[in-house]
């Protein structure tokens, strides 16, 4: 049977993990990101719209 100290450690680890995950999901609002839209013509003269997701962030969670 686990000791009281072990149970407290497991509960604390769970709370810290949950809080960290919630913070990352909540604060990742992509303010540094933008959608770049390019309009071009192909060989047949058709208009093509190309959307590109550009982020200035080094890491995106």
Facing residues of 38 across strands?
Answer: 50
Q: What is the per-residue pLDDT for 53?
A: 82
Nearest to 33 by CA among 5, 4, 55: 55
* pTM for this prediction: 0.46
Looking at residue 17, its pLDDT comes to 97
- Contacts of residue 1, Cβ cutoff 8 Å, sequence gap at least 6: none
pLDDT by residue (tens digit) across 2-61? Answer: 799 999 999 999 999 999 999 887 776 666 778 889 999 888 888 999 998 887 766 655
């Amino acid at each position: 049977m686990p000791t009281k100290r072990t149970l407290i450690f497991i509960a604390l680890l769970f709370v810290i993990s949950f809080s960290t995950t919630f913070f990352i999901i909540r604060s990742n609002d992509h303010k540094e990101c933008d959608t770049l839209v390019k309009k071009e013509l192909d060989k047949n003269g058709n208009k093509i719209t190309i959307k590109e997701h550009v982020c200035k962030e080094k890491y995106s969670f």
